[in-house]
Amino acid sequence: MASCRIERTIMKDAVTEKMIQSVREKYNKGKLTVSDCGQFLNEIPRFTRKHALEDTRRFLDDMGAPDQKMKIIHVAGTNGKGSVCAYMDSILRTAGYTTGMFTSPHLVSITERFRINGEVISEELFLSSFIQVLEQMPDDAHPDYFPTFFEFLFFMAMVLYRDHPVDYLILETGLGGRLDATNSIRNPKICVITEIGMDHMQYLGNTIEAIAGEKAGIIKKGVPVVFCDRRSESSNVILKKAAEMSADAYRVSGENITDAMVRSLPDGNKCIDFSYESRYDKYVGLAVSTPAIYQLENAALAISAAELLIKQGAEITQQDIRKGIFATHWEGRMERIKPWFYVDGAHNEDGMEAFLDSVRMIDCTGHRFLLFGVVGDKQYSQMIGRILESGLFDRIAVAALYTERSVSEDELERTFLAQSAESRTQQIRFFADVRSAYAWTYANREQNDLVFAAGSLYLAGQILADQQK
């Protein structure tokens, strides 16, 4: 063991010293870019590994324990984490509070992971936070410690919101919860756990109960938790953990969401009107500014969390909640980027079913197209099965993504064709890249046709990046 540790330390010292020196020189010359930082971060997995929470906490304490001075809302779950963060952020800002938000992953630019008052931070703030974390190591206090990709970004968030204080920081976990770097924080104000589903099983376990146990690991002693009460298997685990931690638990169930109805806005976009009855109050006249039916549940989780903040002394009115919910925009989640084109980040089986439910609610007088791409560590066969069984799409363009994690064009074709014998889909085409798939879709769509894209946040990001060029 000792020799392995020495070899790892020597490797880390040799590699990181050269990398750090290069970054420092660029920064001192005013030539360091966000792209340079991204390249640095992407190299980290070659020479480090995930650390114990105790090590992460120790590093955080050496930074001055910035989390101890922050009011943090900690969010975990399988699907909907980022959306709940966005709804919470919007409610709080509408009520007059300043907010920070740390989420993952990003769609186009890594700077998207950090927001202040709803706005993505500037490149200057990103670079400053990056350099401050870099200067923290390696040193005598951490001779065998170098943060992972996500740990580094988490430390950047702590530096950013320490130097630019906000009233509330909304903090999303990366992977899991119990062992997640963000779980090194000590005293969140509220914990929120969104829907639990089958994803990242290689890390979190092969059952809903096991995955829920990992997500429930964010629950702290005496800190109230709001959770999605959709599956009894996960709800029972969360309730048991909450009881162990003497934490009040608040369920949010689909049974409390009523009167859902899609309507068109003057600008051509769609919204969904709904009502929500919480543990404390009934909210009527609510609306989410999206046709994504799954956002009703995420908005309800945010409302319930806002109620707990009110109990803790926050000045938030029903009007703030109503306006904040409607004002929320979260990129890549059933986002209408053209009058005929919707992009969604559905990337697992439950997410795909929620996406399909939303597609059903959007009237289409022409054909429906689907642009699909997926990464290999997801349940892509099950996702493809749900797509074909739905019969919603007349034409499907299947693309390999611009990432090493992508399922290949050949494997996608084998999987689709193996399941499409009884499908009502008229046409499935396969492409080596997203741009070619989009070009085919654009060339073949007619006036009343709608195009949807789903399967991966990588796909959503690549489409959005291409649209910005």
Clarify whether residues 393 and 287 are in a common domain: no
Show the domain range for 452: 335-468
Rounded Cα distance between 295 and 326, Å, is 11
Residue-wise pLDDT for 238-264, tens only, equals 999 999 999 999 999 999 999 999 999
Chain CA centroid to CA 388, Å: 26
Q: Exposure of 24 by Cβ count < 10 A (0-12 exposed, 13-18 middle, 19+ buried)?
A: middle
pLDDT at 132 over 70: yes
Sign for the CA dihedral angle at 146, 152, 154, 156 comes to positive
State the pLDDT at residue 179.
Answer: 93
Residue 395's H or E segment, with its range, is strand 395-399
Query: Band of the pLDDT at 138, cuts 50, 70, 90?
Result: low
441: exposed, middle or buried (C-beta count within 10 Å: 0-12, 13-18, 19+)? buried
Do 322 and 355 lie in one domain? The reply is no
Mean pLDDT of 110-135: 96
| Residue 309 sits in the same domain as residue 262 | yes
Query: pLDDT, tens digit, for every residue of 403-431?
Result: 888 999 999 999 998 887 655 556 899 99
pLDDT band at 139 (very low <50, low <70, confident <90, very high): low
Residues paired with residue 190 on neighbouring β-strands, in sequence order: 73
Owner of token pair 């360091």: 32
Answer yes or no: is pLDDT of 7 > 50: no
pLDDT tens string 13-54 = 556 677 788 888 898 888 999 999 999 999 888 778 888 999
33, amino acid identity: T
Q: Are 311 and 355 found together in one domain?
A: no
Q: Are 224 and 341 contained in the same domain?
A: no
Average pLDDT over residues 303-325: 97
SS3 27: helix
So what's the pLDDT on residue 141?
47
Mean pLDDT of 207-216: 94
More confident call, 137 vs 177: 177
The answer, yes or no, to whether residue 352 has pLDDT greater than 60, is yes
Which of 327, 358, 384 corresponds to the end of one domain?
Answer: 327
Report whether 194 contacts 294 (CB < 8 A). Answer: no
Could you tell me the CATH number of the domain that includes residue 389?
Answer: 3.90.190.20
Which pLDDT score, from 0 to 100, does residue 145 have? 76
Q: Tell whether 40 and 162 lie within a shared domain.
A: yes
Give Cα separations from 283 to 83, 259, 279, 303, 386 (angstroms).
19, 11, 11, 9, 34
Q: Which residue has the higher pLDDT, 405 or 140?
A: 405
Q: Are residues 256 and 367 in the same domain?
A: no
Within 8 A by CB and 6+ apart from 397, the residues are 369, 370, 371, 372, 429, 431, 437, 438, 440, 441
Average pLDDT of the chain is 91
The predicted-structure confidence for 180-200, as pLDDT tens digits, reads as follows 999 999 999 999 999 998 876
Domain boundary among the residues 268, 299, 327 is at 327
Q: Tell me what pLDDT residue 8 has.
A: 42
Q: For a pLDDT cut of 70, what percent of the chain falls above it?
A: 93
The answer to whether residues 216 and 116 belong to one domain is: yes
The reported pLDDT for the residue numbered 17 is 74
Angle between helices 208-215 and 232-244 (to 10 degrees): 40
What single-letter amino acid sits at 154? Answer: F
Both 323 and 372 in one domain: the answer is: no
Q: The pTM is what?
A: 0.93
The CATH number for 226's domain is: 3.40.1190.10
pLDDT at 33: 95
**How many whole angstroms separate alpha carbon 160 and alpha carbon 133?**
10
Q: What is the pLDDT of residue 49?
A: 81
In a shared domain, residues 90 and 137: yes
Residues 265, 285, single domain; the answer is: yes
Residue 43's pLDDT is 87
Both 252 and 340 in one domain: the answer is no
Number of domains the chain contains: 2
The answer on pLDDT for 55 being more than 80 is: yes
Which run of H or E residues covers position 430? strand 427-431
Asked whether the predicted pLDDT for residue 4 surpasses 60, the reply is no
Place of tokens 């020495």: 6
What values do phi and psi take at 102, rounded to 5?
-120, 115
Count the alpha carbons within 13 Å of 464 in the hemisphere toward its beta carbon: 23
pLDDT at 3: 37
**In terms of pLDDT, which residue wins out, 87 or 17?**
87
